[in-house]
Amino acid sequence: LAAAAGYDRLSVTRRPRAEVLVLGDELLHRGVPHDGRIRDALGPMVEPWLAGLGADVLVTRRLGDDAEALHEAVATTTADLVVTTGGTARGPVDHLRPTLTRVGARLLIEGVRVRPGHPMLLAQLPGRGDGIDGPGGPYLVGLPGNPLAALSGLVTLAAPLIRTLGDQAAEHTPFASLADEVHGHPRDTRLVPVAYSPAKSSARPLHYNGPAMLRGIATATALAVVPPGGVPSGAEVRVLPLPWFTW
């Protein structure tokens, strides 16, 4: 179409390149959970999520709780966006924040008043001069280690960032009527898995919506944005469609 219209050159924006770093010695990557260790549920999910949002994922690396390996990975990344899972808290083996300080990163978002997912963070690494954002450095999105908490960070931090880096239009976030009452957090916003029906402009809250639970995510098509204190049945709330949802 461009050639037919007589254009010889086009300015384009390539898809942002992403790298996934899975953190945590407690994670198993094959077999049945045992001896207090659990299967990694995020490693298999985050890469296709990012691809669905419009990123080209270069690699998924599993680093455990190795501070030096994390520093090497962050300091030498060739991606436009690094996404980490786990390590966003402030425990003795949570090395993400010390690593960001060590490499001279600038924290843009340091925790969000949302449940689940409040320890999520967004940082910009020192500039390389060769990224799609010009002289600015790559970005790093730190997702919490619990699956639903990580999904909250993916939808609210990673997705808008990928759309911006890829020069995509802002996502439409509709309102829907809740089929049931939803209890809220006393102070923070809650993101609750729902089955969303665009035809009816309605959303049915799903059970199993704790931060570590996968069952609610598996059957959800969106997250309902529930204000502090909760909302009654029939209330209109904003819904955030999940990456696999199609209009």
- Could you state, in order of their start, the residue ranges of all structural domains in the chain? 17-165, 175-241
Q: Is the pLDDT of residue 224 over 60?
A: yes
Identify the CATH number of the domain defined by range 17-165. 3.40.980.10
| Residue 88 pLDDT level (bands cut at 50, 70, 90) | confident
Rounded mean pLDDT, 208-214: 88
Task: Quote the mean pLDDT of the chain.
Answer: 92
Kindly report the pTM of this predicted structure. 0.90
| Residue 228 pLDDT level (bands cut at 50, 70, 90) | very high
Rounded mean pLDDT, 39-53: 91
Judge whether 237 and 172 are in contact, CB under 8 Å: no
In the 8-state DSSP scheme, what is residue 134?
Answer: B
Q: How far apart are alpha carbons 40 and 22 in whole angstroms? A: 8
CATH number of this structure's domain 175-241, picked from the four choices 2.60.120.260, 2.40.340.10, 3.20.20.70, 3.30.1370.60: 2.40.340.10
pLDDT score recorded for residue 58: 96
Judge whether 201 and 188 are in contact, CB under 8 Å: no
Look at the block and give the residue holding tokens 């790093």: 140
Which tops the pLDDT comparison, 135 or 165?
165
Residue type, 168: Q
Q: Is the pLDDT of residue 234 over 90?
A: yes
CB atoms within 10 A of CB 162: 24
Q: How far apart are alpha carbons 22 and 149 in whole angstroms? A: 15
Rounded mean pLDDT, 138-157: 94
Nearest CA to 239 out of 206, 180, 189, 193 is that of 193
